[in-house]
Amino acid sequence: VLCNASLSLISFSLCSSRCPPASADDDVDLEQLVNDMNSSMESVYSTQTDTVERLRHSQPMHIKAVRNLQEEHQLHPASLPAIPNPFPELCSLTGSPILSPIQTSDNYIVKVWSEDGAGKVVEIPADMTTRDVCQLLVYKSHCLDDSAWSLVEHHPILGIERCVEDHELVVQVQASMSGDSKFLFRKNYAKYEFFRNPLNFFPEQMVAFCQESDGSIPPSQLLQNFLNSSSCPEIQGYLHVKEPGRKSWKKLYMFLRRSGLYYSTKGTSKEPRHLQVLSDLEDSNVFTVITGRKLHNAPTDYQFCIKPSKVRSDCKELKMLCAEDEQSRTCWMTAFRLFKYGIVLYQSYNVPQQRKSNLSPFTAPVRSVSENSLVAMDFSGRTGRVIDNPIEAQSAALEEGHTWRKRSQRMNVLGSPSPLHPSSLSTVIHRTQVWFHGRIMREEAHKMMIQQGQVDGLFLLRDSQSNPKAFVLTLCHHQKIKHFQILPCEEDGQVFFSLDDGATKFTDLIHLVEFYQLNRGVLPCKLKHPCTAVAL
C-alpha cells in the first residue's frame, strides 16, 4: 500500500512538472523521461528503506542483564537535573536494609535428641568439636558436668550407632549422615575407661606383639605400645563374619593391625600369603549393632560392624562381625579406635583431668572415689585411725548403718506428723534422684546399661516387677549386669530398706545408695556411676 501510494504520488508529480501543456509542443523526449523515472524510483526505494529501518528500530530489543552505568552516564550526561537525594541511606548498598547484600554466616543447624524422645536445636560453627557441643548441651540442660557426656551417631534404618569421638567436628559427621540418621545425647562411661583399667579391656590371649616379651606386659607398657606408632601390636582371635548378600555367617581367625582388619585363609596362619584384607581403618568407623541377633541371623548377641564413611544407607556395604562374648567385642572395638586415632584419644582423655586440676579454690571440691583411695576409718576416739582388720571394718560398717537408723528414729520421736514426715518422705524421696528410673522392665534396664558403657560400678534403681513394695538395684561388674532386690522390712512401726536380708537397714533409698558408694558390703563392687537419662 505504501509503495502504491508513493508511485501514484510520483506519477502525479511527474505529470504536473514534466509534461508540458498540449498546446505548446506534442513532441516528448523519451530518453529524458526514462531517466527521470529511474531517479524517481531510486528515491522511492530509499524512502521505503528508511521507513523499514524505523520500523525495525521500534521492535522489542534485548536488554543486557548487567549494564555499564559509567557508559550510560557518558551517553546521557545532562539528561536529568541535579536534584539532591533526600534519602541517601535508602539508595546506598551499605545502608539500605533491602539493597544491602545478605550476610551469610558460617554457622550450621544441628538437632540433638535425648533418650526420652525430646530434641534440642543448636546453632554451631563449622569448627566446633563434639566435646564443645556436649559442653553447650550440658549448660543448656543444667546437667551435672563431667567427661562422660557424649554424642551418639544413630542410624535407625541400618540399626547401628557409635559414640562420636570428642575431637571430631560435628558438622563433618553430620554431612556424612543420611536423612533418617540423628544425634543422641547420652552418657558413655566406657569412653576412656580403658586408660584407667587397660587389663579389663585387652585380655592377654587376644593381644600380640611383634617383639617377644618375657612374662606379662605391665598396663602402662600395654597402652604405650598401642599409642606408639613405631610399635606393632595386633589383636587376634576368632570372629563370625557375615557373608555378603547372605544371612549365613562364617567363623574366621582375624587380625586387627594399624593397616586394617585381616582374616586368615588357612587356619590361624599369619603368613602374608594367607592374609586377606577385610576393611581398612582410615575411611571407616566401628559401630555397635542394636537391632538384635534375629534380624541378621547372628550366632551371638555381641554384634558390631565396620561402616565405610562413604556409605549412607546401604546395608550391603557394611562389614558385619560377631564376637563370642562382651569382653572380646569390647576389645576389638576399643583397639579399632586406638589404631585409628592413636595419641589423639589420650589427649582428649587428659583434657578433663587438666580442667579439674586448674579449678579455682572457690569451686566445689572434687573427691576421688577410687578403689585404692578409700579405707575404713574409726572416729570414735579423739583421732581417727585406719581399720586394718576386715572383720572389724565390716562390723564398723554395720554399726554405721544402725547409727543412721537410730538417727532417723530420733527424728520420728521429735518430729510431728506432717506431709513431710520422714516415714512418708522415705517412700518418695528417691524419685528425685538421677539413678532412679521408676517402673522400667529388666530388658530396658539392660539396654540403658549397655548404651552407657558396661564399666564396673555403673548402677540404677528401679521398681520391682514381682513385688510392688520392693525395689531392684541393677549393677554392672566385669561387663556383666546383675540385679539385687531391695526388700522393705518393718521395725517398731517404721519401714526400712535392706539389701542383705535385714542385716543392714536404711530409712530410705538415698541412704542406701550413699552407704554402698563408700562400702562394698554384699555387692561385688561399690556404686560409682549412676545410669542417668537426661531430658533436653
The residue among 400, 387, 393, 370 whose CA lies nearest residue 515 is 400
> Quick one: which of 198, 188, 194 has its CA closest to 131?
188
Residue-level pLDDT at 155: 93
Q: What is the pLDDT of residue 482?
A: 94
Structure confidence at residue 242 (pLDDT): 93
pLDDT at 364: 40
Nearest to 194 by CA among 219, 176, 172: 219
CB of 171 within 8 A of CB of 108? yes
> Rounded distance, CA 82 to CA 87, Å?
15
Q: Residue 351 corresponds to which cell in the numbers above?
A: 583434657
Q: What is the mean pLDDT of each run of 10 residues along the chain (536 residues)?
A: 44 44 51 67 55 49 48 48 61 48 68 86 93 91 83 93 95 90 92 89 85 60 83 92 88 94 93 92 93 88 91 82 94 94 91 60 41 62 71 73 52 42 60 89 92 92 90 93 92 86 89 93 93 78
pTM: 0.66
Single-letter code of the amino acid located at 295? L
Separation between Cα atoms, residue 446 and residue 425, nearest integer Å: 29
Distance CA 426, CA 412 (A): 12
Q: Which of 160, 133, 161 is nearest to 149 (CA)?
A: 133
DSSP string, 210-244: SS--SSPPPHHHHHHHHH-TTS-EEEEEEEEEEPT
Q: Cβ neighbours of residue 516 under 8 Å, at least 6 residues apart?
A: 499, 523, 526, 527
pLDDT at 314: 75
For residue 162, count other CB atoms closer than 10 A to its CB.
21
CA distance 110 to 161: 17
- Per-residue pLDDT at 256: 95
Class of residue 323 by CB neighbours under 10 A (exposed 0-12, middle 13-18, buried 19+): buried
In this structure, what are the phi and psi dihedrals at residue 351, rounded to the nearest 5 degrees? Answer: -60, -50
Nearest to 182 by CA among 107, 114, 132, 106: 114
The full length of the chain comes to: 536
Burial class (CB in 10 A: 0-12, 13-18, 19+), 344: middle
CA 356 to mean position of chain CA atoms: 25
- From residue 270, give the alpha-carbon distance in Å to each of 253, 256, 262, 339: 10, 12, 10, 19
User: Is residue 484 classed as helix, strand or coil in its secondary structure?
Assistant: strand
> Which residues does 451 contact at the CB level (< 8 Å), separation at least 6?
152, 186, 188
Phi, psi torsion values for 446, nearest 5 degrees? -60, -45
Q: CA 162, 440, 288 angle in degrees (round to 5)? A: 15
Residue 402 CB burial class (10 angstroms; 0-12, 13-18, ≥19): exposed
Cell numbers found for residue 121: 536445636
Give the model's pLDDT for residue 321: 95
Cα(321)–Cα(220) distance, integer angstroms: 29
Alpha-carbon Rg of the chain, whole angstroms? 43
